[in-house]
């Protein structure tokens, strides 16, 4: 298979992947959108969001166990932290390996994971999202922000991280297309 053909395959993979992540941003940007998605999972953006959410959830829950011995605060934070550390570690690996296309693709997972954490932070004060414990008192970000005396800022922190997560996803979609077109010689970059 030629170099051109490999990059053409990457391009054909990138188009549906981009569609999936743009659908997530478009349909699941706010906490209200996410609450709607819980009752209407047939919406394309909701469907894709929950596919990745089901990947992130076990990672998140394992994070609580992983950081259990470091105290209550770190143990509670550990779920969200681990949910970010795992895709970030893959991202760093691909960056060190100089595989920028894979770096960009894994960063899409990282961006969705950050968006998921943003929703969780956003919901800290409201506590409307369903939890696996079915006990709103176990809401990580309610407890974390309460411990810090910042519970009233959950909306601001969540919206800010959601915005940055969506921006991160868009930047990485652009990065992936740029890499495919540059490496595939679809465009010529003059120095």
Q: Kindly state whether residue 12 falls inside one of the protein's structural domains.
A: no
Q: Kindly state whether residue 62 falls inside one of the protein's structural domains.
A: yes
Q: Kindly state whether residue 76 falls inside one of the protein's structural domains.
A: yes
Residue 178 has pLDDT above 80, yes or no: yes
How far apart, in whole angstroms, are the C-alpha atoms of residue 184 and residue 178?
10
Q: Kindly state whether residue 141 falls inside one of the protein's structural domains.
A: no
Residue 66 has pLDDT above 90, yes or no: yes
Residue 17 has pLDDT above 90, yes or no: no
Global pTM reads 0.84
Residue 63 has pLDDT above 80, yes or no: yes
pLDDT in tens, 126-166: 888 888 898 999 999 999 999 999 999 999 999 899 889 98
pLDDT at 29: 66
Q: Kindly state whether residue 169 falls inside one of the protein's structural domains.
A: yes
pLDDT at 81: 97
- Residue with more model confidence, 35 or 67: 67
DSSP summary character for residue 43: S
Angle at 158 between CA 154 and CA 164, to 5 degrees: 150
pLDDT at 33: 73
How far apart, in whole angstroms, are the C-alpha atoms of residue 13 and residue 154?
37
Average pLDDT over residues 69-81: 96
Q: Do the Cβ atoms of 27 and 118 come closer than 8 Å? A: no
Q: Kindly state whether residue 66 falls inside one of the protein's structural domains.
A: yes
Could you list the residue range(s) of the whole structural domain that residue 99 is in? 3-7+55-114+155-183
pLDDT in tens, 79-126: 999 999 999 999 999 999 998 888 999 999 999 999 999 989 998 998
Q: How many domains does the chain have?
A: 1
- Count of other CB atoms within 10 angstroms of residue 188: 7
How far apart, in whole angstroms, are the C-alpha atoms of residue 38 and residue 31?
11
Residue at token pair 């959950």: 154
139 by DSSP, 3-state: which? coil
Q: Kindly state whether residue 176 falls inside one of the protein's structural domains.
A: yes
pLDDT in tens, 24-62: 777 666 667 777 777 666 666 677 777 788 899 999 999
pLDDT at 45: 63
Q: Kindly state whether residue 70 falls inside one of the protein's structural domains.
A: yes
């Amino acid at each position: 298979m030629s170099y051109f053909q490999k990059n053409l395959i990457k391009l054909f993979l990138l188009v549906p992947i981009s569609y999936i992540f743009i659908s997530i941003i478009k349909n699941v940007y706010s906490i209200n959108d996410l609450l709607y998605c819980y009752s209407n999972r047939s919406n394309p953006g909701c469907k894709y969001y929950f596919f990745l959410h089901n990947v992130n959830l076990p990672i998140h829950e394992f994070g609580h166990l992983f950081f259990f011995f470091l105290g209550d605060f770190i143990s509670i934070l550990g779920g969200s932290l681990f949910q970010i550390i795992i895709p970030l570690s893959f991202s760093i690996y691909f960056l060190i390996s100089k595989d920028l296309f894979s770096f960009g693709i894994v960063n899409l997972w990282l961006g969705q994971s950050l968006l998921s954490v943003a929703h969780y932070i956003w919901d800290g004060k409201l506590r409307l999202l369903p939890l696996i414990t079915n006990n709103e008192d176990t809401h990580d970000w309610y407890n974390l922000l309460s411990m810090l005396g910042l519970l009233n800022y959950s909306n601001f922190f969540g919206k800010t991280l959601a915005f940055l997560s969506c921006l991160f996803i868009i930047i990485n979609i652009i990065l992936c297309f740029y890499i495919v077109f540059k490496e595939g010689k679809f465009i010529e970059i003059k120095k």
